[in-house]
């Protein structure tokens, strides 16, 4: 389908042999799978980043997409590029912009709570997260099975990996069940069972390893 050779630098798994637990990399990966565009991976151990990688992207974050003389280190921009370059199937079906706005802040709210879970004022952060979850649940109740009906969207590529992390971390470390929100649970059950998700998946244990430092 594509004559362009794409190389994606991604977080390596704990054993250094496969895709690691990065929701931003998974966002880009989901777009590649939806578009059925071939891509090869370069696994980066983030604890000991090679100099050539730091020269490529001084910030040292993943994912980083290389093609020709172009280097792109922003997962959202990578998704936008893929959608513009390979228009079918579109990742911007009707309703995508509204879906991005409705779901775009949930991970920030969750991170603010999780990273300060043991702080005395954590309840305020939790309340803000729960309020945001209710908004997302209400939005999801009006759609299905994904955010804009059946097709994958830019919004789905961002939200699905984030919910995977949120569900895993909240359940294990925080004693909080995200799937108490019935519409979000339905959305997760469907999206996590898709081939696109399975092809970009990684074990929950790796997610827990990555987040454990915030709960010591």
Catalytic member of 9, 22, 148, 157: 22
Active-site annotation holds for 157: no
Pairwise CA distance, residues 37 & 155, whole Å: 19
Output the six-digit token pair for 19. 């895709």
Closest-CA residue to 140 (of 102, 105, 166, 97): 102
In residues, how long is the chain?
216
Q: Contact, 79 vs 45, CB < 8 A?
A: no
In degrees, rounded to 5, the angle at the alpha carbon of residue 82 between the alpha carbons of residues 77 and 84 is: 95
Report the SS3 class of residue 89: coil
**Cis-peptide into 145, omega within 30 deg:** yes
- Which helix (H) or strand (E) covers residue 49, if one does? none
Active site residues: 22
């Amino acid at each position: 389908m594509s004559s362009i050779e794409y190389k994606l630098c991604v977080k390596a798994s704990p054993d250094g042999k496969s895709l690691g637990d990065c929701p931003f990399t998974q966002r880009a990966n989901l777009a590649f799978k939806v578009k059925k565009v071939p891509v090869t991976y370069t696994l980066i151990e983030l604890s000991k980043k090679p100099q050539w990688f730091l020269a490529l992207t001084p910030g040292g974050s993943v994912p980083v997409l290389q093609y020709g003389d172009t280097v792109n280190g922003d997962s959202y921009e990578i998704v936008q590029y893929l959608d513009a370059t390979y228009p079918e199937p579109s990742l911007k079906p009707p309703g995508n912009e509204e879906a991005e706005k409705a779901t775009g802040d949930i991970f920030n709210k969750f991170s603010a709570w999780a990273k300060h879970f043991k702080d005395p004022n954590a309840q305020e952060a939790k309340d803000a997260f729960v309020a945001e979850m209710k908004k997302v649940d209400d939005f999801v109740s009006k759609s299905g099975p994904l955010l804009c009906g059946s097709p994958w969207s830019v919004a789905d590529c961002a939200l699905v990996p984030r919910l995977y992390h949120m569900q895993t971390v909240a359940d294990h470390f925080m004693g909080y069940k995200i799937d108490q929100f019935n519409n979000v649970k339905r959305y997760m059950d469907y999206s996590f069972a898709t081939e696109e998700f399975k092809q970009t998946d990684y074990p929950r244990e790796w997610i827990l390893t990555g987040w454990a430092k915030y709960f010591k």
